[in-house]
Structure 1
Amino acid sequence: MRPLAFFIFSSGCASVIDNLLRNYDKRIRPGYGTNKPVTVSVNIFVNSFGAISAKTMDYRINMFLRQRWIDPRLRHNVRGDPIAPDATYLDKLWVPDLFFNNEKSSRFHDITLKNKLVRISRAGEVVNSMRITLVLSSPMSLTKFPMDTQLSNGTRKKKSNKNNSLAKDFSFDPKGILLGQCDKNYESGTFSCIEARFVVTRQLGYYIINIFIPTLLGVVLSYMSYWIDPRNSPARICIGVFANLGVNTVATSGSLPKVSYIKAIDVWFFACQILTFICLVEYAKVNVYIRDHKFREQQIEIARKKYDMLIEEEEAQVWPEALPIDNQLFKEDPDDWLFEIIGEEPPRKKTELPEFRYDELPPVPDAEWLDEKFRLWIPVLFLVFNIGYWSYYS
């Protein structure tokens, strides 16, 4: 009896469906001519939500879209559950021309069959459910990127019916979602629009690992140069250049969104680039101090040598013990007329020696003193910046 009963029931449903479509015109909306709008209840069930791209400012969503409306022309007297015809039956019915205003791309699912469902109740209530995947545009304010919270738009509109022809009623669990009306006024009339905004907060894990930590290490690397001997020019220059290039490479990464205003991540990059650049500027000044110090040492060494030479020349002058007298009266026996110098030596003419003073050269700042100051100032400056940065943007 069960197979026979099922056959009779199936045959009855098929005949009811055929009778419903006999004089049915899908080009005319339900209740046309009564001046009453068709109330369409829209319900979505989100299967997955993700792939939010700050670079292209869009996101991907997979969901079941359900619409309910009453079509008096589809009333029937079949008892029990609503009639559930094949999904192709939907092409023969009037359906609301709903569309997503911010859609970039979309697709229906048809594995293993078309993911669509149609139900028609005795009162003529039609339930239309379908599974779709959408890529929706979502303009974002990236002022606090990547510590930002975004409102992703999901706007649905009725394309061709005015409010007096069709009204929308949105049914959705509003947890983490902001709902609202966004009816649009055009020259041809006011069109129904409903809007859902998904509240999403960006996860920092990716940006901490791939942006903040590498740039932080670049700043630490540049800070290490202050501990290297100032006379080791190749090491200090290489460290400063590599640190600055590393920060610039991360800052110009193609994965970051490009906008015309300053983002939070741009402030971070700017601070790191300034600190790594200060490393090079500071060593340039240290190098000037070192050259001045070498020049000072050379001048001191030249002055010391000149002074020593003058002293040696002064000490090399020796007076004889006897002085001959060159006179014609004493040429007969010159040996008897030698005068012996008795007592102290006669005064000699001394050479005027310049007074040698080390403090006559201009003082030169100490390069090591400058390094010591920067060893203290740079960590304090970076710490103060981090406190202000994370307090403001978090």
Structure 2
Amino acid sequence: MACVKTLHISLCFDGTNNNKDNDKSAEPRHPTNIAKLYDTSYADEKEYFAYYMPGVGTPFPEIREFQYSSEGLKYATSGENRINWAIMMLCRALLSALRIPDYSDDDYRGFVDAMSTNWVMDNGHARRQSTLDNIIKSKQILEKIVTTRPKILGIKLFIYGFSRGAAEARAFVSWLSQLTDTTKNKHNPTLLGLPISVEFLGVLDTVPSVGIVHLVPSFTGHMDWANGTQQLPNETQYPNFVRCCRHFVAAHEQRLCFPVDSVRRPNNKETQASHYPGNTVEIVYPGMHSDIGGGYPVNDQGKSRERDSEILSQIVLHDMYLAAFMAGAPLKVSPILENIVNSSPLIYLMSSENLDEFTVNNALVDRFNSWRKTLGISHTTQANNDEYTPVNINRRLEEVIKEQMGWMTA
């Protein structure tokens, strides 16, 4: 057997005011779907790695944020630092895989500071490129890539985000694409000669609202790090970089201040005709913002009154998990599949806590299916029930949301 390996790196960007440690220690517990996906992502610090970025406005000691912040909650302040920290964690994973002594958190914090820009963001790429070059383009690292065994064949990324964390995830993909080398290998972007790809990008109800929000005339909430970063990288310039993208959108959120950012791409400036990038699907689910991303506790607003398994966001959690798993994400599986697990060294079991976080009540399934019956679309039986395949209705996202808002405003 060849002595080789591929690095699998999971990056999880949580939503505004969402913080895994605080949300899981609260009473009642209310972690988001991003926190749950992080907890079920397998990591061994050798070939598999997983990193979590708390939501803006919440403590993130690694980047010197020790308290909740009103500026982060209102304006998404320090979103840039979270994105840059994720870039640093990509470096950390690579150094670990090459068995090169790692930098300390303080060192990485200094690198994040070096990449930070002002609100104009006029020199962000140059700062990121210079910092990345200083960390990973030393002679020692370039030699290690050639000589280290198991030999590293490439880097596969699995990225998740909710709310402003979804906007951070999309900005991360945009910035990372600009740091890759596409001149030597036209088929795949590379980093240090290693093929690098976003195998799965799963984002939940992307709402940047960075800086001044859309409520104020002539402002769209795309200031600072959200400016020009929300479109997926161009497939011609960065071929095979984003292999699979799923965007799950709330049908019933009040969008006055927090409009959703579709992953649909404008075709040209004159007609604004649009299309979706390849391997990209946008799916609408019932509910409000946190009914998609999670984070509502039991009995919040009088809903899901008895148990976590009744919370509407559990449906989205399962669909996102399955879509990511089908794309090759290193996610742990239910102990129900123990016989299959025992036959494969590449499958890992969920803990009892993981399993509890994925429980779905039958009544919730019935309610969700009742909503689907109101849509007036055919529900053909899928040829393969193990594969996640949403129904294609061939309508614009805005039209669907407008129709669904009739339930709120009629």
- Say whether the fold is shared (TM-score over 0.5): no
Q: Quickly name the TM-score band, shorter chain normalised.
A: under 0.3
Q: TM-score under structure 1 normalisation?
A: 0.20
Q: Which has the larger radius of gyration?
A: 1
Give the structure, 1 or 2, with the largest relative contact order (CA under 8 Å, sep 6 or more): 2
Q: Which has a greater percent of strand? A: 1
